[in-house]
């Protein structure tokens, strides 16, 4: 589905222009569901777009040139990662490009003198260390099942990945909670005032530069949804339902947990996320390689 020479331009168009719209709508749904879980009505579903347009109309009053460059590199890397994923390209390249964007985001946080931004950047490094191994294990598991790192190979499988990779549903939820900076792991930056660093790494960003970060979050939401949908790529609607289930799980976790420390996050990711994905990898390796 994702790789077709006649539809490549359309797919790239969807990845660049349609995906952030979908991501923004998902962010709006996130806010509404969070509000309902807290007994509130919540903002309109289009509130993320209203916020971004308001930020775009404001003149930036802080930040350095290096940080601004890093922010735009972060945006480009996120777009490129989504394009690579949706056009069926190499998953390892996608992971590398995604990691590069995170590195530039962190460098941008360190490039300013604000202690809040610096602490947020330090915590962002720890968050990358927490979720990156799980993404790599996910990619390796797909390689073991398809014999290739190319995404389009997933759509050539007779059975969906979910049948042989059920534990990766849990891993994807962990990845979403950490990468979307949801409680209890909203350490580097947060939209909520329930921690000592509300904006953290984005403290020195304002106006249209902060709007770029909001746009990155929209692409990020779309990318994580597509990664979840790969588990049931043989049926688009079931894959979409699976992605929405993972997103709903992160929203529930966000609203029923209190923020933990960075050490708790690393312990959780490395003592729960890594073992269950390693176990699933071992099972896949046994049935796909050894038993054959």
Is residue 86 a part of any domain in this protein?
no
Instruction: Calculate the dihedral angle through the C-alpha atoms of 73, 25, 203, 76, rounding to the nearest 10 degrees.
Output: 0
Is residue 132 a part of any domain in this protein?
yes
pLDDT, mean over the chain: 92
Is residue 164 a part of any domain in this protein?
yes
Q: How many domains does the chain have?
A: 1
Is residue 92 a part of any domain in this protein?
no
Tell me what pLDDT residue 215 has. 97
Which among 292, 290, 175, 289 is positioned nearest to 231, based on CA atoms? 175
- Across residues 251-266, what is the average pLDDT? 92
Provide the domain limits for residue 149: 8-58+124-197+207-290
Is residue 257 a part of any domain in this protein?
yes
- Across residues 225-246, what is the average pLDDT? 96
With beta carbons less than 8 A apart as the criterion, state whether 178 and 132 touch.
no
Tell me what pLDDT residue 4 has. 52
What pTM was estimated for this model as a whole?
0.94
pLDDT in tens, 10-27: 999 999 999 999 999 999
Tell me what pLDDT residue 1 has. 45
More confident residue, 5 or 167: 167
Is residue 190 a part of any domain in this protein?
yes
With beta carbons less than 8 A apart as the criterion, state whether 158 and 233 touch.
no
Tell me what pLDDT residue 2 has. 46
Output DSSP code: residue 150. Answer: B
């Amino acid at each position: 589905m994702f790789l077709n020479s006649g539809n490549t331009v359309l797919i790239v168009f969807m990845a660049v222009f349609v995906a952030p719209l979908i991501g923004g709508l998902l962010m709006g749904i996130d806010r509404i569901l969070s509000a309902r879980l807290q007994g509130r009505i919540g903002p309109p579903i289009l509130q993320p777009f209203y916020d971004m347009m308001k930020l775009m109309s404001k003149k930036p009053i802080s930040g350095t040139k290096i940080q601004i460059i890093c922010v735009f590199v972060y945006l480009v890397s996120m777009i490129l990662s989504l394009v690579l994923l949706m056009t069926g390209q190499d998953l390892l390249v996608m992971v590398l490009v995604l990691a590069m964007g995170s590195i530039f985001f962190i460098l941008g946080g360190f490039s300013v003198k604000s202690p809040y931004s610096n602490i947020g950047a330090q915590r962002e490094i720890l968050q990358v260390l927490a979720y990156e191994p799980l993404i790599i294990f996910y990619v390796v598991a797909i390689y073991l099942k398809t014999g290739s790192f190319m995404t389009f190979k997933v759509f050539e499988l007779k059975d969906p990945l979910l049948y042989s990779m059920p534990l990766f549903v849990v891993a994807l939820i962990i990845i979403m909670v950490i990468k979307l900076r949801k409680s209890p792991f909203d350490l580097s930056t947060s939209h909520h005032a329930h921690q000592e660093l509300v904006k953290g790494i984005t403290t020195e960003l304002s106006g249209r530069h902060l709007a770029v970060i909001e746009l990155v979050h929209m692409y990020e939401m779309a990318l994580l949804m597509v990664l979840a949908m790969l588990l049931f790529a043989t049926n688009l609607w079931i894959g979409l339902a699976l992605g929405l289930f993972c997103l709903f799980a992160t929203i529930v976790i966000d609203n029923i947990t209190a923020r933990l420390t960075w050490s708790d996050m690393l312990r959780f990711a490395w003592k729960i996320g890594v073992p269950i994905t390693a176990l699933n990898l071992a099972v896949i390796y046994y049935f796909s390689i050894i038993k054959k």
